[in-house]
């Protein structure tokens, strides 16, 4: 097997409104989560070299379903979770989204890692902190993407990264962090390597 998976192989599998409609809880999944304006769909599309794979919109909060994408087999999946904390929708609908998101994160046995996306200019908001605390408590490896790095010059980018690493010093055995730009594809190699490391034990032996 090569050092990294071929993420361009990603294919849409199914969408689920809730935990009960998700695919069988077998194999390995890495979920992408983040505020609705953090650039989650753009990051997935950049990773998979397919600008149509994950739905993007100028209106944050349009991803209302749990979306599953296969990699080499149906047992190895990327998961696009509903965006949180921003969507301009009815309160009752938002509460239902949050409940389904929580149910997935707490009950999904095949979840082996979480990619948590934050706008590098506004990281560690309340919802980000809550998600990070949950993943640490559940001992789920988490990789933070500080997205939209192209919006900052190199100096402020580095400052934001160093500040994040300093704040994560007490959980650095479970949490890693990097800067990322979908527009410039900066940090793509690092993201691919991290995902490949997580998935590697769950892949079939190379022929």
* Mean pLDDT, residues 93-116: 83
* Span 154-172, average pLDDT: 92
Residue 184 CB neighbour total at 10 angstroms:
11
Where is average pLDDT lowest: 26-35, 84-93, 147-156?
A: 84-93
* Domains located in the chain, CATH noted: 7-202 (3.40.50.300)
Query: What is the spatial distance between Cα 143 and Cα 150, in angstroms, rounded to a whole number?
Result: 19
Query: Which pTM value belongs to this model?
Result: 0.90
Angle made by CA atoms 3, 6, 7, in degrees to the nearest 5: 120
pLDDT above 60 (res 100): yes
Tally: H helices and E strands in the chain: 5, 7
Q: Check whether 99 has a pLDDT greater than 80.
A: no
| Residue 148: pLDDT band with limits 50, 70, 90 | very high
pLDDT band at 59 (very low <50, low <70, confident <90, very high): very low
């Amino acid at each position: 097997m090569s050092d990294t998976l071929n993420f361009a192989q990603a294919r849409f599998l199914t969408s689920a409104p809730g935990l009960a409609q998700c695919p069988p809880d077998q194999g390995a999944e890495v979920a992408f989560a983040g505020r609705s304006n953090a650039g989650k769909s753009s990051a997935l599309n950049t990773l998979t070299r397919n600008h149509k794979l994950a739905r993007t919109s100028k209106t944050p909060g349009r991803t209302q379903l749990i979306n599953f994408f296969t990699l080499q087999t149906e047992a190895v999946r990327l998961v696009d979770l509903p965006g949180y904390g921003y969507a301009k929708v009815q309160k009752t609908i938002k509460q239902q989204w949050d409940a389904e998101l929580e149910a997935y994160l707490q009950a999904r046995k095949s979840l082996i890692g979480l990619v948590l996306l934050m706008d590098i200019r506004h990281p560690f908001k309340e919802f980000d902190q809550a998600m990070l605390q949950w993943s640490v408590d559940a001992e789920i490896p988490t990789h933070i993407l500080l997205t939209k790095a192209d919006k900052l010059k190199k100096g402020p980018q580095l400052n934001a990264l160093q500040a994040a690493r300093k704040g994560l010093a007490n959980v650095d055995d479970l949490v890693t962090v990097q800067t990322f730009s979908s527009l410039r594809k900066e940090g793509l190699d690092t993201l691919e390597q991290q995902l490949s490391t997580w998935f590697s034990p769950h892949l079939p032996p190379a022929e």
